[in-house]
Amino acid sequence: ARQESADGVTVASTAHYFSNPGPAPTDMLARPKSELEIVPAPLPREHNRYRENRTYRFDVRFQGAPLAGVPVSFTSSAGTRARFVSDAAGRVWVRFPDDVQRAKGGGHGRGPTNRFVLAAAHDAGGLHYLTAFNYSYAEDAYSGRSLAWGGGFMALGGLIALPLIVRRKESKRG
């Protein structure tokens, strides 16, 4: 979405995936779509997602070139706020907070998510540019899971299967 006025330009962007999406949107994301933009580098595909407790890179560009020293604000639908500043190459490293509400019960759905907005502003040529990138992130992939319990069940399964394996080898010898 784009709104222009006499004193500035405001742009909001997001991404959507459809079934059978085809090739990755790498080429599309590389092309400038507005004067000031925040571009995911890269955008997670279908079954992969932004996850809490992980850090992801976003590029801040003005007229297609990296923009250094720009404050970028992060706001989640859970109310978490953070601020980052783009480095010399226009990159911002965003660590997603641990604020996704856990799913109740067991379901086969995609699980709970939070929406987020990354926003940046820049003044140039007498105009004020404001841009935002909107998307979502999910709970940590290992949330509610235990490596110890998983290993324990695997060992128990191996012990239960051991007599079957031994009996099979004995019957082949006889």
Q: Is 168 helix (H, G, I), strand (E, B) or coil?
A: helix
Which H or E run contains 123?
strand 113-124
Query: What's the sign of the alpha-carbon dihedral 79, 103, 51, 116?
Result: negative
| Token pair recorded at residue 63 | 């007229």
pLDDT (0 to 100) of residue 106 = 47
Distance CA 111, CA 102 (A): 8
Contact (CB, 8 A) for 103 and 120: no
Distance CA 36, CA 26 (A): 18
pLDDT digits (tens, 9 = 90+) for 52-105: 999 999 999 999 999 999 999 999 999 999 999 999 999 999 999 999 987 554
pLDDT (0 to 100) of residue 9 = 94
pLDDT digits (tens, 9 = 90+) for 1-21: 899 999 999 999 887 766 666
Query: What's the sign of the alpha-carbon dihedral 47, 50, 53, 54?
Result: positive
| Residue ranges with strand state E in 14-54 | 36-40, 50-51
Alpha helices in 20-114 (DSSP H): 26-30
pLDDT band at residue 122 under the 50/70/90 scheme: very high
Which H or E run contains 55?
strand 55-62
38 CB-side CA count, 13 A: 33
Q: pTM for this structure?
A: 0.75
List % helix, strand, coil for the chain (3-state, nearest 5): 20, 40, 45
**Amino acid at residue number 29:** L
pLDDT (0 to 100) of residue 66 = 96
pLDDT (0 to 100) of residue 115 = 94
